[in-house]
A and B are shown apart, each in its own frame.
Chain A
């Protein structure tokens, strides 16, 4: 009888949020004192220790491939191989994540490849049936 109420998805991380219309985006904190950018909310700046200087921002959705590995053996139940990447977003924050839409071979990868953030259904469901949405990395067509 509640079918008309939209089922809101769940965020796979604390630094992924949904706008009022349900569009996902990444949130971070910018220190007004030192300019450090970190994913998610922070009470104080981990870089310069300033208090009361952290301002909530939206993180950039483009960046570059900083480091990576091809994971061939993982925890039970996890599909392998996959590319575990570290990406430096434009504007400074570093994120770990999975690089998708590419063959998981080291020969296909190069440092500093331009990367864009894409948001997808992870296929995982909470006990109440809500879907978990996460960010992933995908190679960008042109340099950011």
Chain B
């Protein structure tokens, strides 16, 4: 089986683009990724497009209408917060299976404002406030409180995640929010769902990211090995049975299973990683995912953030992009934007936030909703 490589990748600055369309944003990212590879849409043999909120509206085909109707196969993917990573992974699978040598993956989303997680019932009954809460800040607050229950994790420790990620964002010109937020400010900002304050919630933004994936044969033929990044693992899981699954979507076991599968596929372990982009949709999520990805032992996530080990310059820098807390979280784009961040570091092009000497990085996205389920994708990338 051939190795698969990223040979072109880019993202548009995440932000609010009310006068633009999903197709417009996705098209811009697709062209940026093709330019990064020095290739044309005519070189692409398939398109994998991740978008959640227009999942039935053929976003991939609409992007091709803007950049070239070459008639290639298009797969439109939707998979909660793993949407972009799922589309990308379908491209990786096609390359590794030998179907194609060059494919394009695009992730794009245009978000509204406000809380996610709702949904209306056919009978008109409003569950929110009666059957607990289905807002995502509340669900991830309950996930965090479950960690507090087991290990005594504190509000302050959760809040430090936001301080760290917002600090990292000051070095990322493509992040939506780029300002320092001291601990007192994070802890005293509006309480959304205890213990997640407003500054501990990811921002709803519009965004798009895209990648060109190539087989080893294509990389060598095109002379792109100097800018290629090898995909050492590309894994996807759905939420397995847990006793609490009926009340709270599982984001822990689904991530542990996915990370384990990725480490096995790559023949690597968490100690081999130089940086991680993980799914900090809420500050509480980053804490539990430290353990789910094996960055520390169970129960040590609070100590990890206290000791600054996940900050730039620490043992294992996490969310150098500023994470979803600062960069923003355009659902379908997030999974490819994370790959873009890690690729920048592996290429040595991350500017002032560069993790020096980075050779191996991991990306993780994980999401789901109450009463439905969860999805997780993990990729491990290596400087080629």
A residues sitting closer than 8 Å to B (CB atoms) are: 10, 12-13, 36, 38-39, 46-47, 66-75, 77-80, 82, 84-88, 92-98, 106, 111, 122, 124, 126-127, 132, 134, 136
Contacts and interface: CB of A to CB of B under 8 A. Distances in A.
A73 B137 contact: yes
B126 A111 contact: no
A98 B138 CA distance: 12
Contacts of A68: 142, 145
Nearest to A122: B130
Interface stretch (B208-216, B237-245, B254-262): B237-245
B191 interface: yes
A13 B134 CA distance: 14
B66 interface: no
Contact of A71 (B131, B135, B143): B135
Contacts of B130: 12, 97-98, 122, 124, 134, 136
A39 B125 CA distance: 19
Contacts of A92: 243
Contacts of A106: 194-195
B193 interface: yes
Interface residues of B, number: 37
B190 A12 contact: no
B246 interface: yes
A5 to B, nearest CB: 21
Contacts of A85: 132
B194 A98 contact: no
A77 B129 CA distance: 10
Given A12-B130, A71-B133, A94 B247 contact: yes
B191 A72 contact: yes
Q: Which of B128, B132, B241 has the most CB of A within 10 A?
A: B132
Interface in B275-298: none
B20 interface: no
Given A94-B247, A95-B247, A96-B248, A78 B131 contact: no
Contacts of B141: 69
B14 to A, nearest CB: 22
Nearest to A47: B241
Contacts of B157: none
Contact of B142 (A80, A86, A126, A132): A86
B146 A69 contact: no
Interface in B75-124: 115, 118, 123-124
